[in-house]
Amino acid sequence: MNGLQPGAIVSIGNINFNGESMITVVLNAFKRQQYLKQQIDCVLSQTVPAERVLIWNNGEELDLHGYGDKVMVANNSHNLGVWSRFAYAINAETEYVCMLDDDTFPAPRFFESCLQQMAREPALLGARGLRFLSPARYHPFVSFGWDAPNEKAEVVDIVGHAWFFKREWLGAFWRELPPLGTSRLVGEDMHFSFMLQKHLGICTMVPPHPESDPAIWGSDPELAMKLGTSKEAVSQGDEALQKFDTALRHCTSNGFLLCKDGAGAASAGLVIGPGVTRIRFIKRLAAKYPRLGNWGRALQRKLAEKNIHI
């Protein structure tokens, strides 16, 4: 596929298109607005391009030219965090929604791949997925997606960087509200997977990210590593990591069933330490020296195959 032509009938799995896209993209802008136009162009040039792009802007006021009605911006006077973009997403008028973090630049056929997976098995899909090894600690975990390629679709506990889902599932997201006093900067990924599992019986998956076909990956690895380890990233710092732990404990203590506890699940194996990916210095080192980062991730995967997690 090289983009939808007006009036053309295109089939992906059992989903038919008549030249109109079925996808609305929601972007989140805050401190890294310099990458926003590149991200918009990325989603509009997909083989199944977005019909519209909704931008949830928590940073300096945006005034984008050249996109016409394709792009709608909501400029906020305060930083309202990441949860609120799931409320903004109700403005989508398409069957599917794809929400992207500001460090995520999907490869040209990612939306196409997500639609193919939806045709096989509807699930909350993402560019990177995690299987937790503890109900109380975010790190360490087993990863799938752009940073740990998977040949076939994999069921995971949560996905991040991208969330591809049916618009109607937003109703499940808001069935239960986050507790008063908790952070609105993290935890929305766990909450969404938990709510879909609890109220709709829908699982969370990473679609195939084969090493042989990076054109269907959910994120550009180099940009993801560079931006994901910058000081602007929400995931950086001990305080943020503690918030991740708190959010996970809230979900699991209220019934979120993790993959490791499901029927037929294998033992979590041997868990050593608090998780190397939790250490900011190591993340920055991996971003600065890609070869070293690739070696480290390969070592993690090899150990994980032996049920040893660091």
pLDDT digits (tens, 9 = 90+) for 92-135: 999 999 999 999 999 999 999 999 999 999 999 999 999 999 99
* Amino acid letter, 110: F
pLDDT (average), residues 173-187: 91
What pLDDT is recorded for position 11? 59
Q: pTM for the complete prediction?
A: 0.83
For residue 250, give the H/E element and its range: helix 238-253
pLDDT at 277 over 90: no
Residue-wise pLDDT tens digits, 231-242: 555 555 568 889
Q: Are strands 96-100 and 23-29 parallel, antiparallel or unpaired?
A: parallel
pLDDT at 4 over 70: no
Residues 6 or more apart whose CB falls under 8 angstroms from that of 238 comprise: none
Rg (CA), the chain: 19
What pLDDT is recorded for position 1? 44
What pLDDT is recorded for position 170? 98
What pLDDT is recorded for position 94? 97
Of the ranges 23-27, 60-64, 69-73, 185-189, the best mean pLDDT one: 23-27
- How does residue 171 score in pLDDT terms, banded at 50, 70 and 90? very high
Residue 1 domain-assigned (yes or no): no
What pLDDT is recorded for position 66? 77
Residues 6 or more apart whose CB falls under 8 angstroms from that of 87 comprise: 174
Residue 57 domain-assigned (yes or no): yes
For residues 257 and 32, which has the higher predicted lDDT (pLDDT)?
257
For residues 262 and 52, which has the higher predicted lDDT (pLDDT)?
52
Residue 63 domain-assigned (yes or no): yes
Q: How far apart are CA 27 and CA 53, in angstroms?
A: 7
Residues 6 or more apart whose CB falls under 8 angstroms from that of 61 comprise: 75
How many domains are contained in the chain? Answer: 1
Q: Angle CA(81)–CA(82)–CA(88) in degrees, nearest 5?
A: 105
Q: Are 4 and 10 in contact (CB under 8 A)?
A: yes
Residue-wise pLDDT tens digits, 203-232: 999 999 999 999 999 999 888 777 765 555
Residue 196 domain-assigned (yes or no): yes
- Output the CA torsion 175→178→180→182 (10° steps): 180
pLDDT at 63 over 50: yes
CA neighbor of 225 nearest in space, from 97, 95, 127: 127
Residue 201 domain-assigned (yes or no): yes
For residue 242, give the H/E element and its range: helix 238-253
Q: How far apart are CA 3 and CA 309, in angstroms?
A: 41
Q: What is the mean pLDDT of the chain?
A: 86
Domain that includes residue 73, residue range = 10-309
* Amino acid letter, 171: G
Residue 5 domain-assigned (yes or no): no
What percentage of the chain has pLDDT greater than the value 70?
84
Helix (H, G, I), strand (E, B) or coil at 78: coil
Residue 2 domain-assigned (yes or no): no
Residue-wise pLDDT tens digits, 238-254: 688 899 999 999 999 99
Q: Is the peptide bond before 140 cis (omega within 30 degrees of 0)?
A: yes
CATH number for 266: 3.90.550.10
- How does residue 179 score in pLDDT terms, banded at 50, 70 and 90? confident
Residue 118 domain-assigned (yes or no): yes
Q: What is the DSSP track for 106-173?
A: --TTHHHHHHHHHHHS--EE-SEEEEES-SS---SEEEEETTB--SS-EEESEEESEEEEEGGGHHHH
By residue count, the chain amounts to: 310
pLDDT at 273 over 70: no
pLDDT at 17 over 80: no
